[in-house]
Amino acid sequence: MIGKNKNYNYLIDYVYSYAYNVSRAFKPYVEIYQLGNELNLTFNVSPQSIIGIDFIEALCRGIVDGAGDKVKIVNIAIDYMGWRKFLHKILTDLRKCVDIIGIDHYPRTWSFAGHHDWRILKSVYGDVEKYGKSLAITEIGFSTELRILNKVVIKREIEQARFVNTAFSSIINMVREIPIKFIVWYMLWDENPISCEPSSGLGWCGWGVLRTDFSKKPGWFALKRVFELLNS
């Protein structure tokens, strides 16, 4: 925590200046700015926090002054406790800054929800619509490996393909009722297995639909079919 002292004001001024100069330089090339990633996991959004309401508002003002009326987005991870309270805080305290609310959702990896269970979209859309905001799925993905001390203890590449087919089938059905701005798949190819493990030596890895040698997992073919369908 940091009080609103000279150093705090300097930080906010610096954030504004950074956002202003970057957005001004890239004005012809960038249409959407992400003001923060999964803020509910790492940041205490309060006026007194280092990364809080004042911080996000400074980014917002810098972008508006530097590049004009660009689209601004904030995303939250909904597989963790307290996310809905955090969502309401964003919608009330940052309603003038944020245009799109993105959700990051990982059924069967970070939550126990089934592949097909995307009812949460209706719930979140009901909240954001009240404030005139749009909804996006900023992260959807499925890990194919659980590693402990760099040893694979669970491998589920086939299930990733099932997840793609089932989850996107549910999402596409919902899109007929709920407008979703865009969907982002996380991620294209696997990272180095060692780097995906936290200091505890345990972690879900293999998020890509391509392996580290760029060979294709079953999920790649499933995802390709889904996006061909979405673009048809």
Tell me the pTM.
0.87
Q: What per-residue confidence (pLDDT) applies to 1?
A: 44
Tell me, what DSSP letter sits at residue 157?
H
- For the chain, the domains span 1-96, 99-232
Question: Which pLDDT value is given to residue 127?
Answer: 93
What is the pLDDT at residue 8? 80
Give 10-72 as a 3 state SS string. HHHHHHHHHHHHHHHHCCCCCCEEEEECCHHHHCCCCCCCCCCHHHHHHHHHHHHHHHCCCEE
| Residue 165 to residue 225: CA distance in whole angstroms | 9
What fold characterizes domain 99-232?
TIM Barrel (3.20.20)
User: What CA–CA distances, in Å, run from 5 to 10, 15, 44, 62, 116?
Assistant: 9, 16, 18, 21, 49
pLDDT of residue 47: 42
Position 2 scores a pLDDT of 47
pLDDT digits (tens, 9 = 90+) for 142-193: 999 988 887 888 899 999 999 999 999 999 888 888 999 999 999 999 988 7
Question: What pLDDT is recorded for position 111?
Answer: 84
- Joined tokens for residue 216: 């294709």
Name residues whose C-beta falls within 8 Å of residue 72's C-beta, 6 or more positions apart in sequence: 32, 33, 34, 35, 60, 63, 97, 98, 99, 100
Mark the ranges of the chain whose per-residue pLDDT is less than 50: 1-2, 46-48, 50
Contacts of 1-4 spanning 24+ positions with Cβ under 8 A: 1/44, 1/48, 1/49, 1/50, 2/48, 2/49, 2/50, 3/48, 4/47, 4/48
